[in-house]
Chains A and B, each alone.
Chain A
């Protein structure tokens, strides 16, 4: 299955610190996406990284992908209280049509 498994399950940090979340998957992928979910804005797409890319940036977000290890990481720099949310990785299999969400990492940023 190409379902992502996030690690850690929960993370608590102080505002201003960096937060790193990891995702592992088991089969070859077309791309891998990260999403964020909080009570205010629902589930929102953050970033997509393709299988031939190794790193991608978007604002304070940095995503890496290591296809040899079948893993990805999401780094949020200079975290804010507003970053408090659940973060999900969602790999898409090489068939290109099936994207499976993991159980998520719950991030809590203390002000």
Chain B
């Protein structure tokens, strides 16, 4: 079974530039998550999709971050414009469903973003 795919693996940009990350979840997984993980901290949930609908985006900085999951499969996360504090690893994960439907999450390798 193929795992969660993410690209790019690394990205270096200057502040105020834009950047986009792509995620392809495990086939058949209805729930997709984007996390931000700053060095030394746990993953922080940015946004959670159930199919192509948003379940939770309460911690997404909506003035600069946006995400979409067209057709309920692939997803993109965009930052525009980037700030120095956005330097982090961005993790994508997927799960079969929610709660009792099976919410064990499978993570991709992440994208390490450095904002200079």
Q: Are A97 and B42 in contact (CB under 8 A)?
A: no
Check B43 against A43 for contact (C-beta < 8 Å): yes
Q: Is the interface of B mostly helix, strand, loop or mixed?
A: mixed
Q: Smallest distance from the beta carbon of B11 to chain A beta carbons, Å?
A: 17
* Minimum CB distance partner of A46 in chain B: B104
| CB of A88, distance to nearest CB on chain B (Å) | 5
Asked whether A95 and B99 contact (CB < 8 A) given A44-B107, A45-B105, A48-B104, the answer is yes
Q: How far is the CB of A87 from chain B (nearest CB, A)?
A: 10
Q: Taking CB as reference atom, which chain B residue is nearest A99?
A: B103
The answer on a CB contact under 8 Å between A96 and B99 is yes
Distance between Cα atoms of A88 and B35 in the complex (Å): 14
A30 CA to B45 CA in the complex, in Å? Answer: 18
Whether the pair A97, B48 counts as a contact (CB closer than 8 A) is yes
State the CA gap A44–B93 with chains docked (Å): 10
Pick out which of these stretches binds chain B: A12-20, A59-67, A69-77, A101-109.
Answer: A101-109
- The yes or no answer to B109 lying at the interface (CB within 8 A) is yes
- Please give the number of chain B residues whose Cβ is less than 8 angstroms from any Cβ of chain A in the complex: 24
Bound together, the chains give a CA A20 to CA B35 distance in angstroms of 27
Can you spell out 30 A-B residue pairs with CB atoms less than 8 angstroms apart? A30-B99, A31-B100, A33-B103, A33-B104, A35-B105, A42-B109, A43-B91, A45-B104, A45-B105, A45-B106, A48-B104, A88-B42, A95-B99, A96-B100, A96-B101, A96-B103, A97-B48, A97-B50, A97-B55, A97-B99, A98-B48, A98-B56, A99-B45, A100-B45, A101-B35, A101-B42, A101-B44, A103-B42, A104-B41, A104-B42
- Given A33-B104, A45-B104, 9 other A-B contacts at CB below 8 A? A42-B107, A42-B110, A44-B107, A97-B98, A98-B48, A98-B56, A99-B45, A101-B43, A104-B42
User: Could you tell me which B residues sit within 8 Å of A by CB distance?
Assistant: 35, 41-45, 48, 50, 55-56, 91, 93, 98-101, 103-110
